[in-house]
Structure 1
Amino acid sequence: MFNFSGQSDSFGRRFVWVNGPVIVGAGPSGLAVSACLKEQGVPFVLIERTDCIASLWQKRTYDRLKLHLPKKFCQLPKLPFPEEYPEYPTKKQFIAYLENYAQKFDIKPRFNECVKSARYDEACHLWRVVTVSTTGPTRSETEYICQMLVVATGENAEGVVPEIDGLQEFSGEVIHVKDYKSGAKYSGKKVLVVGCGNSGMEVSLDLSNHNAKPSMVVRSSVHVLPREIMGKSTFDLAMLLMKWLPLWMVDKLLLILAWFILGNTQKYGIKRPSLGPLQLKNHHGKTPVLDIGALQKIRSGDITVVPGIKRFNSKSVELVNGETIDVDAVVLATGYCSNVPYWLQETEFFGKNGFPKTPFPNGWKGKNGLYASGFTRRGLAGASADAIKIAQDIVKVWTEDLNQKKQKVPHLRRCMSTF
């Protein structure tokens, strides 16, 4: 391969040949792949649509957020967390860790470039990745041409906003949880939190701590587990038990321990799914809630659990049980989704939901030099494992290709005439 940049077509699009892969997304997944490649001396281009690394963490998370799992399960390859960090690092500490990570491995993303499309050119056996600049008054496009493409935009690229009857008629503030920062401005207000996952629970807790009056919509069943059991991380304990016991038995033990610590959550309006927490995670990707204090607030009545929504009115919401409650504001803790289907023109490896069709642990590699990092539904540990495997595979391919460089140059020059 060779690097050639600066060529433009008659419409002003700039073409860039890339020696190595193009990596889309400068979050933890993209940074991890970049670091592993840097250590092996493989060149790459890292593209990021915003103006910073880890934009989800920096711009779309609430202030009180901490890592839900112990730091040893959340560190990226080649660099552990500082020893002085607590067991569950804060949002600011994690961002500082990522910034130090990028600096240590000299990772320099190309910021403010949003991928418009990416497709594999069968004629030339190359990927064509078109980006649009998101800065400046004029729209400029760049087309990166490469043999390998790493999709690292992650599972949570876009917030999901459901269609709820009457929501547009509601006169109060409506925001997605990605835009929620703190409950300080909601003091004394009645806030409806739609969703009961980790974000919904934690936002409800934060609102209550700021003297708001949160009501949390629990429409479906959910597992709530204590974050720690007998001073040990619940996740850590589960991983230990799975070395010796089958998954279903570990689930049974976790639920028994959760019942002793948290009590019967069903009497507070929170029903448990029929599948155990680990089985549900493995089969459907649904993460159990790790309680950090919200359940106590539910017991005390500071957080009210309500059933599903029938419709919104101007200043209130009708529930499926016939009850109507007054509401000043709404926070949609309704989850996130992948944005891959909007720009990647490929349907064999990625499904309509923006996730690899191949189940874990083999969903990191497709055909024609296509890779996926951070789509395992296993958090930062899954992203790190993906990065290591992807980098190892790319190094192998790149080394073999480098040895045939002289033979490939004429082929690439012939393909240039098609762009």
Structure 2
Amino acid sequence: MGSCKDREEDPLRGPIIVGAGPAGLAASACLSEHGVPSLILEKSDCIASLWKHRTYDGLKLHLPKRYSELPLWGIPEHFPNYPTKHQFISYMEAYASHFSIRPNFNQNVEKAEFDQIRGFWRVQTREFQYISRWLIVATGENAEPFVPDIVGLDKFNGLVHSSEYKSGSDFKNQRVLVVGCGNSGMEVSLDLCRHNATPHMVVRNTVHVLPREMFGFSTFGLAMSLLKWLPLRMVDKLLLVMANLVLGNTDHLGLQRPKTGPIELKNITGKTPVLDVGALSHIKSGDIKVMSSVKEITETGAKFMDGQEKEFDSIILATGYRSNVPSWLKSEFFTKEGMPRTPFPEGWKGENGLYTVGFTRRGLLGTAGEAIKIAKDIAAQWRAINDLSEISVIPISSHLEKSQAT
């Protein structure tokens, strides 16, 4: 990073992108394809920090690689169909290098708001104020770990969020309570089994469990193909019939299915169906024990809604993530939960040059589609304006001095 003086003498141009994860990289790459420069602000010290620092070691992509590629430059052919965490990170690093994407790291955005008088976005970090006609929010729907409000949560010594979980080897021979039965909860429980731990998985709500593959085909790919020809609810019914043939009825295991089908539920609520990679067989064998909702956390374990009370060595909260947008962006375009108010597929564009990417609840495939649309839209404006100084950077100290002087 250069000095404040260097930045003032050499102003940057184009949209500001907040976030250097897959969404931010995709947006930047698509803009560069149209000849539009951009500036990425990233609060951590690397790209894809969520993947690097908040995922466990044995993670693999849930979907085949062709549904997980970023625009314009695909995942290498020699990678397996379901790349590992480390392979996907190496792909994103190569992607950034290929498109010469160089984010400004350690730039945590504290505030962003639209200046109605000047017609620009003001994006403020601790050190600088960035000004641009366009702002692209690319922090995504999974920016911060979500910790539920459970009675007694602070009493237990040995509680971690799944974002801190790396390997079951850290929990060898332990009795572990895993709170959450989504993909993270299922896969953490499976990993614990492989390291001789005894996981007890809390199932608080209904859940769709689907095989990752059906009859040699990706379940997700199969669903995408069927949706081209059949109504969504019919596709859901077909998926559930095939899932029952492959996995059997899961109700007697304590995994009751919602009344709404898996794809429809995902579209409405964002709740992703679990794609089974082996956990279900361990539930059937009793290696993973299914528990009812937690009533209270105690100093030694937990009390459950069905009256049981058990002791545990560790508790892992596999309770997912939330958007952090409301903490820094001043805009009515987002709800208090940090999601665009305008539903998919129109939620990628707000007013006054505001854009969002990575909030579709449709994974990397949805992110790629949004990045392409955003780049086209901004590029059309860029060509019309043809202004070489759309972004400027003002050191906060100098900005304050000017404010005090007036």
Category of TM-score, reference length = shorter chain: over 0.9
Say which SS state the counterpart of residue 225 (structure 1) adopts: strand
Amino acid at match of 1:286: K
Q: Deviation of residue 285 (structure 1)?
A: 1.1
Amino acid at match of 1:260: L
> What's the counterpart of residue 35 of structure 1?
29
2:83 to 82, 89, 99: 89
Amino acid at match of 1:90: T
Kindly indicate whether the alpha-carbon contact (under 8 Å) linking 2:13 and 2:388 is maintained by their aligned counterparts in 1. Answer: no
Q: Deviation of residue 39 (structure 1)?
A: 1.9
1:319 pairs with 2:319: no
Amino acid at match of 1:337: R
1:166 to 152, 162, 168: 152
**Counterparts of 1:17 and 1:376 in 2: how far apart (Å)?**
33
1:380 pairs with 2:374: no
Q: Deviations over 1:94-144 (max 9, x none)?
A: 000000000000000000010010000001001100012xxxxxxxx1000
Q: Deviation of residue 6 (structure 1)?
A: 4.5
Kindly indicate whether the alpha-carbon contact (under 8 Å) linking 1:228 and 1:234 is maintained by their aligned counterparts in 2. Answer: yes
1:193 to 162, 178, 182: 178
Amino acid at match of 2:206: S
Compared CA separation, residues 274 and 15, structure 1 to 2 (3 A):
farther
Kindly indicate whether the alpha-carbon contact (under 8 Å) linking 2:18 and 2:40 is maintained by their aligned counterparts in 1. Answer: yes
Kindly indicate whether the alpha-carbon contact (under 8 Å) linking 1:194 and 1:333 is maintained by their aligned counterparts in 2. Answer: yes
Say which SS state the counterpart of residue 168 (structure 1) adopts: coil
**Counterparts of 2:250 and 2:130 in 1: how far apart (Å)?**
52
Q: Deviation of residue 174 (structure 1)?
A: 0.5
1:45 to 39, 44, 50: 39
1:366 pairs with 2:350: yes
> What's the counterpart of residue 138 of structure 2?
152
1:290 to 244, 260, 275: 275
**Counterparts of 2:283 and 2:320 in 1: how far apart (Å)?**
21
> What's the counterpart of residue 244 of structure 1?
229
| Backbone CA RMSD of aligned residues | 2.0
Q: Deviation of residue 243 (structure 1)?
A: 1.4
Gaps in structure 2 of 5+ consecutive residues: 392-398
Kindly indicate whether the alpha-carbon contact (under 8 Å) linking 1:183 and 1:212 is maintained by their aligned counterparts in 2. Answer: yes
Compared CA separation, residues 303 and 395, structure 1 to 2 (3 A):
same
> What's the counterpart of residue 18 of structure 2?
24
Q: Deviation of residue 16 (structure 1)?
A: 8.3
Q: Deviation of residue 74 (structure 1)?
A: 0.4
Q: Deviation of residue 81 (structure 1)?
A: 1.0
> What's the counterpart of residue 138 of structure 1?
none
> What's the counterpart of residue 341 of structure 1?
326
Amino acid at match of 1:144: Y
Q: Deviation of residue 169 (structure 1)?
A: 1.4
Q: Deviations over 1:205-260 (max 9, x none)?
A: 00011100000000100000000000000000111111111111111111011111
TM-score by length of 2: 0.93
> What's the counterpart of residue 394 of structure 2?
none
Say which SS state the counterpart of residue 257 (structure 2) adopts: coil
Amino acid at match of 2:280: L
Q: Deviation of residue 313 (structure 1)?
A: 1.4
> What's the counterpart of residue 99 of structure 1?
93
> What's the counterpart of residue 397 of structure 1?
381
Amino acid at match of 1:63: D
1:274 pairs with 2:249: no
> What's the counterpart of residue 232 of structure 1?
217
Q: Deviation of residue 331 (structure 1)?
A: 0.4
Q: Deviation of residue 373 (structure 1)?
A: 0.5
**Counterparts of 1:6 and 1:205 in 2: how far apart (Å)?**
50
> What's the counterpart of residue 137 of structure 1?
none
Q: Deviation of residue 405 (structure 1)?
A: 6.8
> What's the counterpart of residue 395 of structure 2?
none
Compared CA separation, residues 144 and 405, structure 1 to 2 (3 A):
closer
TM-score by length of 1: 0.91
Kindly indicate whether the alpha-carbon contact (under 8 Å) linking 2:134 and 2:353 is maintained by their aligned counterparts in 1. Answer: yes
Compared CA separation, residues 322 and 131, structure 1 to 2 (3 A):
same
Say which SS state the counterpart of residue 110 (structure 2) adopts: strand
Q: Deviations over 1:256-300 (max 9, x none)?
A: 111111111110101100100011011111110000000000000
Kindly indicate whether the alpha-carbon contact (under 8 Å) linking 2:20 and 2:47 is maintained by their aligned counterparts in 1. Answer: yes
Q: Deviation of residue 40 (structure 1)?
A: 1.9
**Counterparts of 1:223 and 1:384 in 2: how far apart (Å)?**
26
**Counterparts of 1:318 and 1:375 in 2: how far apart (Å)?**
36
**Counterparts of 2:8 and 2:274 in 1: how far apart (Å)?**
47
What is the total number of aligned residue pairs between the two structures? 393
Q: Deviation of residue 328 (structure 1)?
A: 0.6
Percentage of pairs with the same residue = 56
**Counterparts of 1:72 and 1:161 in 2: how far apart (Å)?**
32
> What's the counterpart of residue 122 of structure 2?
128
> What's the counterpart of residue 61 of structure 2?
67
1:219 pairs with 2:204: yes
**Counterparts of 1:213 and 1:293 in 2: how far apart (Å)?**
16
Q: Deviation of residue 17 (structure 1)?
A: 5.1
Say which SS state the counterpart of residue 93 (structure 1) adopts: helix
Amino acid at match of 2:349: K
Gaps in structure 1 of 5+ consecutive residues: 133-140, 410-415
Kindly indicate whether the alpha-carbon contact (under 8 Å) linking 1:194 and 1:332 is maintained by their aligned counterparts in 2. Answer: yes
**Counterparts of 1:345 and 1:250 in 2: how far apart (Å)?**
40
**Counterparts of 1:234 and 1:252 in 2: how far apart (Å)?**
13
> What's the counterpart of residue 187 of structure 2?
202
Say which SS state the counterpart of residue 108 (structure 2) adopts: strand
> What's the counterpart of residue 76 of structure 1?
70
Q: Deviations over 1:338-374 (max 9, x none)?
A: 0000000111x11111111111111000010000001
